[in-house]
């Protein structure tokens, strides 16, 4: 359920739902309507605590008005892939489709057409905190493209990045959504059929927080004698949630527990997670609950309740918590095999949501504010970048980085603090944008090229190059500005999939980053140590594999969920498990074995293996596939027959 909805939702933007009661927020609605009617400011940023009513306010504002009135288009950012391509596709869907627009100037022309839909148009982005990877692009590319008759409303938990305040005077305004007034709080609780004596108690302790008021009312209806203790506000929401949930039936609680550990619930997913429950009945039961929202790709719990239920389940029944996630992983893994490109982001987001690995999850489902804006470097940043380089690098290494600035300035990104000053920079590009051989004079690049020669990738796939990241505060060591740059990198992952195969990087802190990369299916490049001016720089790599980012996320989730030890392939250790023994695999043996396992019994042609693993564009008569299959079978011993030869075609894993 969205924030500040009573027991139900308000219909918005053509999506059918329950119809409920909206109270209060008269001043905020007046501000939104003034923006709709007069277009000032061009960007309004609404922020407030979880459950403070941002989504309900947006829905109320977006409700259809009289014909000829300004048009309000609302997007739920939870359903938007956090890339430029994904955002424009979501905008197309919401506004009726711009399939004929492509090429240079695509953003400008799409926004211009959006502005021609009506005399006044307002674009609302709800749950904006999950679109943080696009924050810079929206601010620097989208907003300057907005026609005079189109305004932008952003609504999210976090305060706006300070960089938004640097928009021209009068173009930006932030609005904090505070508590409801006492009389509005009482009206909300009364509208839910709560006895008068309970209304007084609930409103007294809820402090005007809409979601707490709703849960308090629900709990009071389920348990009229509900004792309300005077606890800290931070715990009151949890107290009411537990009181309400405890009085639901056992099957309903099981359904909520399943819904709490995944991003969205569909009928097939329910069937996989709860095999003993009728998925049609279960889906209908969930849909009828006042804390559940109908979205474009399933049902979702209100985010605050989702965290409460998942945390409680993890603490009370860790085995059940893990079992639900394991079953969900199995379902998503099977779905990922045949998902169309248009739905790839939703399945990727589902897999990311299962993860508890903070380095991966935080980029897409953030829990805190971000105070640094990651932006493309400009010529005006040269002095600041040089200052950081000179502060942390020896002379010869500094000159190499300056050569990158002179030859490839578009690869530089900077982290700006709240005042706009450069706090750090990174040098990031891809094999699709530059010819790495032209930078072979750089010994770090030369070490990458040697690793690539020994471990080639198919021409159809790319690798990402992170030549250096440095901050004024910590060099290439951990700090908040560096963390922001690493989070921004995840946007590039999303943009490049399904073609991204590998990352290359370099650090003089191998003791910090080596173990992290190993956990993520990478590590230090063997023999990849380069000495410059007496300082050692260690090469790093991260291997995504033939299935790119989505397959990589699937493997990370499998490792984290502790899938059974009798599984044939241990992805993290790159070993096969044979009769209780662990047998090491060479890199190519592992790639072939993993490739066959991912196809789940389907026949794989030799030319597919040659193309996707060795990078050969055609079957050139090489016997490398047969040689690797031969050594794999020897290592499998009594299980060698699992790799079956399909005569005249290729191989499959039985």
Q: Which region among 8-17, 107-116, 150-159 has the lowest average model confidence (pLDDT)?
A: 8-17
- Enumerate the CATH 3.40.50.300 domain ranges in the chain, comma separated: 26-176
Q: What SS3 class is residue 230?
A: coil
Q: What SS3 class is residue 131?
A: helix
HEC letters along 20-39? CCCCCCHHHHHHHHHHHHHC
Mean pLDDT, rounded, for 608-631: 75
Q: Which region among 158-172, 262-276, 362-376 has the lowest average model confidence (pLDDT)?
A: 362-376
DSSP sequence for 42-61: SEEEEE--TTSSHHHHHHHH
The length of the chain is 654
Instruction: Give pLDDT tens digits for 535-545.
Output: 999 999 998 88
Task: Grade residue 384 by pLDDT with cuts at 50, 70 and 90.
Answer: very high
Please check the confidence at residue 549 and state whether its pLDDT lies above 60.
yes
Instruction: Give pLDDT tens digits for 497-532.
Output: 888 999 999 999 999 888 888 878 888 999 999 999
C-alpha 83/C-alpha 492 separation (Å) is: 8
> Which pLDDT value is given to residue 153?
95
Among the four given CATH numbers 1.20.120, 1.10.10, 1.10.150, 3.90.1200, the one describing domain 250-337: 1.10.10
55 Cβ contact partners less than 8 Å away, ≥ 6 residues apart: 2, 3, 4, 5, 126, 127, 155
C-alpha 173/C-alpha 207 separation (Å) is: 26
Q: Which is higher by pLDDT, 261 or 638?
A: 261
Q: What is the dihedral of CA 613, 615, 617, 621, to 10 degrees?
A: -70
Q: Say if residue 1 is exposed, middle or buried (CB neighbours under 10 Å; 0-12, 13-18, 19+).
A: buried
Cα→Cα distances 438→67, 400, 449, 591, 613, Å: 60, 13, 11, 29, 25
Q: Which region among 13-17, 135-139, 294-298, 413-417 has the lowest average model confidence (pLDDT)?
A: 13-17
Instruction: Give pLDDT tens digits for 524-537.
Output: 999 999 999 999 99
Cα→Cα distances 310→257, 282, 326, 426, Å: 7, 18, 14, 37
Percent of the chain with pLDDT over 70: 85
Q: Say if residue 79 is exposed, middle or buried (CB neighbours under 10 Å; 0-12, 13-18, 19+).
A: buried
- Enumerate the CATH 1.10.10.10 domain ranges in the chain, comma separated: 564-653
Task: Grade residue 590 by pLDDT with cuts at 50, 70 and 90.
Answer: confident
Instruction: Give pLDDT tens digits for 312-367.
Output: 888 889 999 999 998 998 888 777 766 776 677 787 888 888 887 766 766 666 66
Q: Kindly state the DSSP code that residue 502 receives in the 8-state scheme.
A: E
Of 326, 268, 336, 325, the closest CA to residue 598 belongs to 336
Task: Grade residue 2 by pLDDT with cuts at 50, 70 and 90.
Answer: very low
Q: What is the dihedral of CA 455, 552, 437, 386, to 10 degrees?
A: -140
> Which pLDDT value is given to residue 368?
59
Please check the confidence at residue 421 and state whether its pLDDT lies above 90.
yes
Among the four given CATH numbers 3.50.50.60, 3.40.50.2300, 1.10.10.10, 3.30.70.260, the one describing domain 564-653: 1.10.10.10
C-alpha 494/C-alpha 497 separation (Å) is: 6
Instruction: Give pLDDT tens digits for 462-471.
Output: 999 999 999 9
Report helix angle 303-316 to 318-336, nearest 10: 120
For the chain, how far is it from start to end, CA to CA, in angstroms? Answer: 44
Cα→Cα distances 565→320, 575, 582, 591, Å: 18, 12, 10, 20
C-alpha 485/C-alpha 541 separation (Å) is: 17
Task: Grade residue 8 by pLDDT with cuts at 50, 70 and 90.
Answer: very low
pLDDT, averaged across the chain: 82
Among the four given CATH numbers 3.40.630.30, 3.40.50.300, 3.40.50.11890, 1.10.3720.10, the one describing domain 26-176: 3.40.50.300
Sole residue written with tokens 């949630």: 241
C-alpha 107/C-alpha 99 separation (Å) is: 13
Tell me the two tokens of residue 352.
């990311």
Q: Say if residue 519 is exposed, middle or buried (CB neighbours under 10 Å; 0-12, 13-18, 19+).
A: middle
C-alpha 304/C-alpha 578 separation (Å) is: 45
C-alpha 630/C-alpha 592 separation (Å) is: 11
Tell me the two tokens of residue 178.
């505070």
Q: Which residues pair with 244 in a beta bridge?
A: none
C-alpha 129: how far from chain center: 11
Please check the confidence at residue 222 and state whether its pLDDT lies above 90.
no
Tell me the two tokens of residue 30.
């007046």
Top-ranked range on mean pLDDT: pick from 166-175, 423-432, 635-644? 423-432
Percent of the chain with pLDDT over 90: 30
> Which pLDDT value is given to residue 620?
54
Q: Which region among 213-222, 252-261, 412-421 has the lowest average model confidence (pLDDT)?
A: 213-222
> Which pLDDT value is given to residue 9?
27
Task: Grade residue 205 by pLDDT with cuts at 50, 70 and 90.
Answer: confident
C-alpha 403/C-alpha 420 separation (Å) is: 25
> Which pLDDT value is given to residue 397?
96
C-alpha 504: how far from chain center: 22
Helices (H) and strands (E) in the chain, counts: 26, 20
Task: Grade residue 388 by pLDDT with cuts at 50, 70 and 90.
Answer: very high
Q: Which is higher by pLDDT, 223 or 394?
A: 394
Of 374, 357, 356, 349, the closest CA to residue 549 belongs to 349
Per CATH, the homologous superfamily of domain 373-545 is Gcn5-related N-acetyltransferase (GNAT) (3.40.630.30)
C-alpha 81/C-alpha 92 separation (Å) is: 13
Instruction: Give pLDDT tens digits for 252-296.
Output: 999 999 999 998 999 999 999 999 999 999 999 999 888 888 887
Mean pLDDT, rounded, for 384-403: 96
Ramachandran region of residue 323, left (φ > 0), alpha (ψ -120 to 50) or beta? alpha
374 Cβ contact partners less than 8 Å away, ≥ 6 residues apart: 136, 413, 414, 415, 416, 484, 485, 488
C-alpha 405/C-alpha 411 separation (Å) is: 8
Instruction: Give pLDDT tens digits for 304-322.
Output: 788 888 888 888 899 999 9
C-alpha 380: how far from chain center: 32
Output b/e per residue, 531-564; b: 16+ Cβ within 10 A: ebeeeebbbbbbbbbbbbbbbbbbbbbbbbbeee
Of 440, 273, 263, the closest CA to residue 365 belongs to 263
What pTM did the predictor assign?
Answer: 0.76
> Which pLDDT value is given to residue 352?
83
Please check the confidence at residue 451 and state whether its pLDDT lies above 60.
yes
Ramachandran region of residue 643, left (φ > 0), alpha (ψ -120 to 50) or beta? beta
Top-ranked range on mean pLDDT: pick from 97-101, 126-130, 145-149, 444-448? 444-448
Top-ranked range on mean pLDDT: pick from 375-379, 624-628, 638-642? 375-379
Q: Compute and round to an integer the Cα radius of gyration of the chain.
A: 27
Q: Which region among 166-170, 302-306, 561-565 has the lowest average model confidence (pLDDT)?
A: 561-565
- Cis bond upstream, residue 288 (ω within 30): no
C-alpha 305/C-alpha 286 separation (Å) is: 13
Please check the confidence at residue 242 and state whether its pLDDT lies above 80.
no
């Amino acid at each position: 359920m969205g924030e500040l909805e009573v027991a139900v939702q308000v219909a918005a933007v053509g999506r059918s739902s329950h119809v409920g009661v909206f109270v209060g927020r008269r001043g905020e609605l007046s501000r939104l309507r003034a923006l709709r009617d007069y277009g000032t400011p061009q960007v309004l940023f609404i922020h407030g605590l979880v459950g403070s009513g941002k989504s309900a306010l947006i829905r109320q504002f977006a409700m259809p008005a009289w014909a000829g009135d300004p048009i309000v288009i609302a997007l739920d950012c939870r359903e938007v892939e956090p890339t430029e391509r994904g955002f424009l596709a979501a905008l197309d869907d919401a506004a009726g489709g711009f399939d004929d627009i492509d090429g240079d100037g695509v953003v400008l022309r799409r926004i211009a057409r959006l502005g021609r839909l009506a005399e006044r148009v307002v674009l609302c982005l709800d749950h904006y905190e999950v679109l943080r990877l696009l924050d810079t692009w929206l601010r620097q590319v989208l907003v300057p493209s907005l026609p005079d008759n189109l305004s932008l409303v952003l609504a999210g938990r976090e305060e706006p990045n300070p960089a938004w305040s640097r928009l021209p005077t009068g173009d930006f305004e932030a609005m904090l959504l505070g508590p409801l007034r006492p009389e509005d709080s009482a009206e909300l609780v009364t509208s839910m059929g709560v006895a008068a004596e309970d209304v007084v108690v609930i409103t007294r302790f809820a402090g005007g927080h809409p979601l707490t008021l709703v849960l308090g009312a629900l709990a009071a209806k389920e348990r009229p004698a509900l004792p309300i203790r005077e606890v800290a506000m931070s715990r009151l929401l949890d107290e009411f949630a537990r009181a309400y949930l405890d009085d639901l039936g056992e099957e309903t609680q099981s359904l909520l527990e399943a819904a709490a550990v995944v991003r969205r619930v569909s009928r097939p997913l329910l069937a996989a997670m709860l095999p003993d429950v009728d998925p049609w009945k279960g889906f209908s039961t969930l849909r009828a609950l006042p804390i559940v929202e109908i979205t474009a790709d399933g049902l979702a719990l209100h985010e605050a309740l989702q965290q409460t239920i998942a945390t409680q389940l993890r603490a009370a029944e860790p085995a059940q918590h893990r079992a639900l996630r394991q079953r969900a992983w199995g379902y998503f893994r099977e779905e990922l095999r045949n998902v169309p490109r248009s739905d790839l982001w939703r399945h990727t987001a589902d897999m990311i949501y299962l993860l508890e690995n903070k380095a991966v999850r935080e980029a897409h489902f953030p829990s805190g504010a971000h105070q640094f804006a990651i932006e493309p470097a400009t010529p005006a940043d040269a002095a600041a970048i040089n200052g950081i380089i000179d502060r942390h690098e020896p002379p010869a290494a500094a000159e190499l980085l300056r050569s990158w600035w002179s030859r490839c300035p578009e690869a530089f990104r900077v982290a700006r603090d709240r005042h706009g000053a450069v706090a750090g920079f990174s040098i990031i590009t891809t094999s699709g944008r530059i010819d790495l051989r032209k930078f072979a004079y750089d010994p770090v690049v030369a070490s990458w090229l040697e690793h690539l020669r020994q471990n080639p990738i198919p021409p159809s796939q790319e690798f990402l190059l992170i030549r250096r990241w440095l901050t004024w505060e910590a060099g290439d060591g951990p700090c908040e500005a560096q963390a922001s740059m690493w989070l921004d990198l995840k946007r590039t992952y999303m943009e490049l999939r399904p073609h991204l195969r590998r990352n290359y990087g370099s650090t003089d802190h191998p003791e910090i980053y080596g173990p992290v990369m190993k956990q993520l299916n990478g590590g230090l490049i063997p023999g990849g140590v380069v000495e410059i001016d007496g300082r050692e720089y260690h090469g790093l790599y991260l291997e995504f594999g033939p299935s790119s980012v989505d397959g990589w996320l699937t493997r990370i989730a499998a490792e984290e969920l502790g899938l059974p030890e009798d599984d044939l392939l241990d992805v993290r250790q790159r070993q096969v498990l044979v009769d209780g023994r662990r047998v090491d695999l060479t890199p190519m043996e592992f790639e072939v074995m993993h490739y066959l396992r991912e196809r789940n019994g389907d026949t794989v042609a030799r030319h597919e293996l040659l193309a996707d693993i060795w990078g050969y564009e055609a079957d050139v008569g090489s016997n490398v596939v047969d040689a690797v299959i031969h050594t794999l079978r020897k290592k499998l011993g009594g299980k060698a027959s699992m790799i079956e030869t399909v005569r005249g075609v290729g191989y499959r894993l039985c």
